[in-house]
Each structure stands twice: as C-alpha cells, then as structure tokens.
Amino acid sequence: MPSRTVTVGSAVGLHARPAALIAQAAGGFDEEVTLRLADAHPDDAVDAASSLMIMTLGAEKGTLVTVESDDPAAVDRVVGLIEQDLDA
C-alpha cells in the first residue's frame, strides 16, 4: 500500500478547518485513505474522510503523519494538504 510521511504545516495542527478540508479531499476518492502519527502502530490509523477522526490524532504543527491508501493520487492529494498551512 502506497504511503508517505509528511510534516503538519498548519499553525493550528490538524484541527477543525484543516481536518475538514482534508476529510473532504479524502472522501472524494474511491479508495480508503488513512492517517496515523508516524511513530504509531498501523492499527492506530484513522479514516482520513472523517474530520472528527483526524482531530483525534492530536497532530500539532510539525508532527509527522503517515498517509496511506491503495490510490497513489489520494496519497499525493492528502499529503499536499497536510503540509500546507490550511488555517492561514
């Protein structure tokens, strides 16, 4: 399964607005997209199409997050959002 690890760029971390934008993008793909803290067990991954689940990660600015999906385009899209400051 394709995966990439990225640094959270949003000043507020993966909280309300960034989480909602990421969830909206992830929900647009046919394949499931998951997120987890880079040092977490793969079983701790959450559904990236759920803003509430994203917020449960508690990922702050600078946190490393791993994005996984069977769809490489989905991984690229979500990684691109996570590394931006979406709350600017």
**What is the per-residue pLDDT across 6-28, written as a single tens digit (0 to 9) for each?**
999 999 999 999 999 999 999 99
The residue annotated as part of the active site, out of 6, 10, 14, 15, is 15
Q: Provide the residue-wise pLDDT of the chain in tens; the chain has 88 residues.
A: 899 999 999 999 999 999 999 999 999 999 999 999 999 999 999 999 999 999 999 999 999 999 999 999 999 999 999 999 988 7
Residue 13 Ramachandran class (φ > 0 left, ψ -120 to 50 alpha, else beta):
left
- Distance between CA atoms of 60 and 27, rounded to whole angstroms? 22
Please say if 41 is a catalytic residue: no
Segments making up each domain of the chain, as ranges: 3-82
CATH code for the domain defined by 3-82: 3.30.1340.10
- Say what the pTM is: 0.94
* Interaxial angle between packed helices 16-27 and 72-82, expressed in degrees from 0 to 180 and rounded to the nearest 10: 170
**Alpha helix ranges (H) inside 1-88:** 16-27, 51-56, 72-82
